[in-house]
Amino acid sequence: MKVMVGMSGGIDSAVTAYLLKEQGYDVKAITMLLGKGNAQLKDAKKTNYCFAPNKDEELKKVKEICEKLDIESILLDLSSNFEDTVLQNFKDEYLNGRTPNPCVWCNSKIKFKAMLEEAEKQGIEFDKFATGHYARIIEKNGRYCLYRGKDLRKDQSYFLYRLTQDQLSKVLFPLGEYVKDEVRAIDVKLGFHQEEQTESQDFYDGDYTELLNVESKEGNIVDRSGKVLGKHKGLFHYTIGQRKGLGIAAERPLYVLELDTFNNEVVVGFQEQTYNNIVEAKNIVWGSRLSVNNEKLDAKIRSTGYPSKATVSSYVDENGDEILVAKFEEPIQAATVGQSLVIYDGDEVVAGGIICKAK
C-alpha cells in the first residue's frame, strides 16, 4: 500500500514515516509550503510559526530525514489556499469579535483536503495519507470514528474533529497508540534529532495588527453596566477570559467577558462572571453518531485541559441551522465564541462545532 506522510521535519512526522516504512508500506513524504506570500510581514524572518515564509532550515531537515529513510520527498505550494481559507477565516473571525482556532480550520480545509487534492492533481499516487497526530481512528457500526490518542497529554483529537467520514477513511495516525516519550526515544535512537530537541510552533507569534492588516482602533473598556473603566488598544488584542494586560486598577482582578464589535468595547468583570453553564455551537460535524438527545457525555471548550461532564442535545434554530448544546454539570470558565465545542463519549469523538453562544 502506498502511503503519503505529511512531513514537517519535526519529531512526530519523522517517526511516523519510519514506523510506516518498518510496517512494509511504500512511503513518500509530502511537505506543505504555506507562507510564500508572507515575506512582507515584519516578523517574516522568524520561523516558529506555521506559515513563516522562511522555512529553509525545516526543509533542510525534511530532506535529511527522507534521505535517512530512503523515501521520496515532495514539496507542494499551498500558500494561496492557506491565505484564502485559513488566514481569511482568521481575519474575519477576529474582526467580528470572535476568537478562531486556525489549526482546526487548517486541518479540515488544507492539510486533509487541499493538500491531498493538489497531490492527486499532480499525479502523485497514494492509497492513504498519514500524519504524526496523537489520535486514533476505529471503524465502528459502519462509520470511521475518531478517538483520543493513548497519550492524553498529547491528544490532538480536538483539532481533528472536523474531519469528515471521507477524510477519515483515507487517514492513518500511527502515533495514536504511542506516548510522546516513546516517540522521542525512537527519534533519538534513529538520529533524526538531538535528545533536547524542542517542538513548539504557534500559529503566529507576531503582532496581530500586521497579520490582520488593520489599524488598531482604540475604544472603551467597560463593565456589564456600561461604566467606562479604561481604554483598550484594539479589540483583537484581547481574548475572552484574559486577565493580564488590561491596565485597570480594581478591587479584584478583572477578566475579559465579551468583545463588543458594534460599540468597539471590551466588556470586563470579576472572575465569577466568567463562568458558563450552557454552551451552544453551530456548523456541526458529526463523528461517531448522527444525533444526540439529552445524553450525559463529556465536552471540551478548548484544546487544553480534560473534558467536563455535560448533558448534550441538539436542535434546529429559526434559521434552519443545527445547534449543538452542552449543559455542564459544573460551571466552566470562559467559553469563547469562535472556539470549538467537542463532544466525547469516553475517548470517542461524538461531534463538534464552532461555539456561537455561552451563558
What is the rounded CA–CA span in Å between residue 266 and residue 256? 7
Residues near 110 by Cβ (< 8 Å), separated by ≥ 6?
Answer: 32, 34, 78, 81, 82, 85, 86
What is the rounded CA–CA span in Å between residue 118 and residue 114? 6
Residue range(s) of every CATH 2.40.30.10 domain in the chain: 274-358
Q: Cell numbers at residue 101, please?
A: 482556532
Q: For residue 24, is it left (φ>0), alpha (ψ between -120 and 50) or beta?
A: left
CA atoms within 13 A on the CB side of 49: 18
CB-CB contact of 174 with 24 (8 Å) = no
CATH class of this structure's domain 274-358: mainly beta
Residue range(s) of every CATH 3.40.50.620 domain in the chain: 2-190
CATH class of this structure's domain 2-190: alpha beta
**Terminal CA-to-CA distance of the chain, rounded, Å?**
49
Distances in whole angstroms, Cα of residue 243 to Cα of each of 97, 249, 338, 339: 17, 12, 19, 18
Residue range(s) of every CATH 2.30.30.280 domain in the chain: 215-269
pLDDT in tens, the chain (359 residues): 999 999 999 999 999 999 999 999 999 999 998 876 554 455 544 555 676 666 788 899 999 999 999 999 999 999 999 999 999 999 899 888 899 999 999 999 999 999 999 999 999 999 999 999 999 999 998 999 999 999 999 999 999 999 999 999 999 999 999 999 999 999 999 999 887 766 656 676 666 767 777 778 899 999 999 999 999 988 888 989 999 999 998 999 999 999 999 999 999 999 999 999 999 999 999 999 999 999 999 999 999 888 999 999 999 999 999 999 999 999 999 999 999 999 999 999 999 999 999 99
Distances in whole angstroms, Cα of residue 163 to Cα of each of 64, 79, 102: 31, 21, 14
Predicted pLDDT of residue 39 = 47
Model confidence, pTM: 0.93
User: Which residue in this structure is represented by grid cell 478562531?
Assistant: 100
Predicted pLDDT of residue 97 = 86
What is the rounded CA–CA span in Å between residue 139 and residue 137? 7
Around Cβ 202, how many Cβ atoms within 10 Å? 11
Predicted pLDDT of residue 13 = 96
Angle at 43 between CA 41 and CA 44, to 5 degrees: 65
The CATH homologous superfamily of the domain defined by 215-269 = Adenine nucleotide alpha hydrolases-like domains (2.30.30.280)
